[in-house]
């Protein structure tokens, strides 16, 4: 396993550290509704401060028009909240073009980096401007390492001293446990809405895994590909051929695959719509119903399917878990994974919705590792090179 340059090996006393964080948090009326991403960076921030570094923090927030200041996406609310979490002032840098001395041992936050031309284009000249602010670079924005942006890719390539923050280091090392350092039997559980989102991951992991459980909206494309009825459930018709190829390849490689045997279904996509359970058998699943969760027969089959796993990757919920009538499948699978983890299996839970589901059903603290990355994790699991990681290793 290739190791990232560790912050623990750095000498940071008296140095200015450019810390690229992921403070892309949800805001409502100017207030942060979920600060997990900010709290995830605190160990690295505190470590650097305790060892005498001066910090300039950099992040994006939302998707403003590149190069245009939009107060809706200002990091000022983040600055206020971070100061509360740290119990100390956080200075404000309105833009990176006016270089100024940073008070030794202080913490400063730069305004939303996407407000400035050059960030999204990964412009070298813009990265050179950023480089003037610091002596060392610390990459701590795992949620952005799949983006070839100036503060993520071009800047660390310019810096002689560059390190992975503790969060990025942990994300990288835990991902290797389901990519290279695998203990078998290896079970992969995928869900969510779209086959297209998970197709690269499935193609890359299929030769490595032993068991594959497919649930969520994407499972209906696979069921349709096998000729089973799905009513008016979600189906990506343009992915049917790809789904057939995945299933055929799994058979050729002698992999065990579990598709939903039944679904909790309704006639309308509403949280209060009456729900019924139907098996996916010819003549048994009504044409006017759509599946929104795996059913009890699938749950019952999933328990022995997961039993004895030594490595488990879970990416994607089993249904519309946000609505209580369609939460049971996701909750039960989460519980089964937690039970196997307690028996000694390694479990990686990835994706924003999956992490939220694990927390909602109360099993997050019983998993081995919960990733903060969405798109970054998917690309890493698909075997792609991540620009922000490659820059740290360069």
| Active site members | 37, 194, 352, 375
Query: Residue 132, Cβ neighbours under 10 Å: how many?
Result: 11
With vertex at residue 224, the alpha carbon angle to CA 288 and CA 222, rounded to the nearest 5 degrees, is 125
The torsion angle over the Cα atoms of residues 126, 130, 132 and 137, rounded to 10 degrees, is -130
How many Å apart are CA 135 and CA 149, to the nearest integer?
20
Distance CA 352, CA 370 (A): 10
SS3 53: coil
- In the DSSP assignment, the letter for residue 347 is E
Share in percent of the chain as helix, strand, coil (round to 5): 40, 15, 45
- DSSP bridge partners of 265: 276, 291
Dist. CA 317–CA 327, nearest whole Å: 9
Residue count of the chain: 394
The Cα 324–Cα 255 span in angstroms is: 33
Whether the Cβ atoms of residue 275 and residue 265 lie closer than 8 Å to each other = yes
Half-sphere exposure of 270 (CA within 13 A, CB side): 5
**Which ranges constitute the DSSP H helices of 55-205?**
76-86, 124-131, 155-158, 166-176, 195-205
Asked whether the beta carbons of 219 and 317 are under 8 A apart, the reply is no
């Amino acid at each position: 396993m290739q190791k990232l340059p560790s912050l623990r090996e750095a000498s940071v006393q008296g140095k200015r550290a450019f810390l690229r964080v992921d403070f892309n948090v949800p805001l409502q009326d100017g207030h942060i509704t979920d600060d997990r991403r900010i709290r995830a960076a605190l160990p690295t921030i505190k470590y650097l401060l305790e060892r005498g570094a001066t910090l300039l923090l950099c992040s994006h927030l939302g998707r403003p028009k590149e190069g245009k200041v939009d107060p809706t996406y200002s990091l000022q609310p983040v600055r206020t909240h971070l100061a509360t979490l740290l119990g100390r002032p956080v200075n404000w840098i309105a833009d990176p073009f006016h270089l100024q001395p940073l008070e030794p041992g202080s913490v400063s936050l730069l305004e939303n980096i996407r407000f400035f031309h050059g960030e999204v284009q990964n412009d070298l000249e813009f990265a050179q401007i950023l480089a003037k602010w610091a002596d060392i670079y610390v990459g701590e924005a795992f949620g952005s390492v799949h983006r070839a942006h100036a503060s993520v890719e071009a800047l660390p390539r310019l810096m002689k001293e560059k390190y992975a923050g503790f969060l990025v280091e942990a994300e990288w090392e835990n991902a290797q446990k389901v990519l290279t350092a695998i203990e078998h039997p290896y079970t992969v559980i995928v869900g969510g809405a779209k086959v297209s989102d998970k197709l690269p991951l499935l193609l890359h992991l299929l030769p490595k895994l032993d068991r594959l459980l497919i649930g969520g909206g994407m499972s209906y494309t696979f069921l349709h590909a096998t000729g089973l009825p799905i009513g008016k459930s979600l189906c990506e018709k343009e992915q049917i051929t790809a789904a057939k190829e995945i299933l055929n390849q799994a058979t050729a490689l002698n992999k065990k695959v579990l598709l939903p045997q039944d679904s909790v279904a309704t006639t309308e996509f509403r949280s209060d719509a009456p729900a019924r359970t139907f098996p996916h058998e010819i003549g048994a699943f009504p044409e006017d119903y759509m599946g929104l969760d795996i059913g009890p027969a699938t749950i019952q089959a999933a328990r022995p399917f997961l039993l004895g796993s030594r490595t488990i990757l879970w990416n994607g919920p089993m249904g519309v878990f946000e609505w209580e009538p369609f939460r049971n499948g996701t909750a039960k699978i989460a519980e089964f994974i937690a039970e196997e983890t307690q028996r000694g299996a390694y479990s990686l839970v990835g994706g924003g919705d999956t992490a939220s589901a694990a927390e909602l059903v109360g099993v997050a603290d019983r998993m081995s590792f919960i990733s903060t990355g969405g798109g970054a994790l998917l690309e890493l699991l698909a075997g792609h090179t991540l620009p922000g990681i490659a820059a740290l290793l360069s």
